[in-house]
Amino acid sequence: MTVKHSHVEANGVRLHIAEQGEGPLVLLLHGFPESWYSWRHQFTPLAEAGYRVVAPDQRGYGGSDAPDAVDAYTLPHLVGDVTALINALGASDAVVVGHDWGAPVAWTTALLRPDLVRGVAGLSVPPLPPAGMPAISVTREIYGEDFYQVRFQSPGEIDAQMAADPAAFLRRLLYTASGDNPDDRAMWMITQGQPLLESLADPEQLPAWLTEDDLAVFTEAFQGPGGFTGPLNWYRNIELNQGLLAAFQGRTVDVPALYAIGDRDMVARMRGVDFLRENLHLVAPRVYGNLTLPGCGHWTQQERPAEVNAALLNFLADLEKDDR
């Protein structure tokens, strides 16, 4: 079986999708700064197990549309893309799996549309209903003005620095946030006035899980219409998401759920994540697993494909049993 590529109209945008297999639908949602290709190791194992695996380039990324308006990248827009994609693919429901930014999209889709989500899995980012992550006003107070999410708020400067040398930026970030980087800096800080690349380690060689060909695919994705501005606009709506989703405060993720994170992931060191993990059953009462992957950094499904695939296949098999 090979991965097929096509475009689908969903929620007013044209999304590029990669697809393999037949059977119940499994949607794989990538994070920043990635693309459908971050799931390259998951397609064949899941398809061979009897699932229809679809990974879109999400709104603003790669071969998908990138609206100009900053506020076209709110979490309700992103959830709307997922629900419309499920319908456009002719499915009645899906198991939705997300990594990094894709995880809040997956968790929130399950929160708002449990009728469409048979099960949900989040990699790296745990569920934090209803808006997916803390407000920028909170992270600014905790981590300061140099925290990367805070620095991403102003359009222009950061976008241009990333776009000036996409390959160098991606090479450094993918290495810096991986489990292969021996530096245990707690957070990604971008010092005011310092060039972006200086905030990231420059590897002598790529880690074993990332080849030069892989890096070339990711780099090409940011030559698309969204460049880096579309993806960065997701961050520029974090504060707005708090108000848009305030009515759902107190709601839980009531579909079957799975969570996994590497013990060397920066997210694991963020304030409050340990508490969220300890109380995951309160947010997601039907949690099947709360997994820690030793030695794994932020790029969960790329760094540890065998472990992630095994966890997903076990989760999917349990869902099939429950459906009988």
Q: What are phi and psi of 112, to 5 degrees?
A: -90, -30
Q: Which residues are tagged catalytic?
A: 100, 298
Rounded to whole angstroms, the Cα distance separating 309 from 315 reads: 10
CB pairs under 8 A, 24+ apart, for 184-191?
184/264, 186/266, 186/269, 187/143, 187/147, 187/148, 187/266, 187/269, 187/270, 188/147, 188/148, 188/266, 189/143, 189/144, 189/146, 189/147, 189/148, 190/146, 190/148, 190/151, 190/158, 191/146
Rounded to whole angstroms, the Cα distance separating 283 from 60 reads: 29
Residues 6+ apart with CB under 8 A from 68: none
The tally of CA atoms less than 13 A away on the side-chain side of residue 250 is: 1
The packing angle between helices 166-176 and 212-221, to 10°, is: 120
Reading the block at residue 58, the tokens are: 């999400």
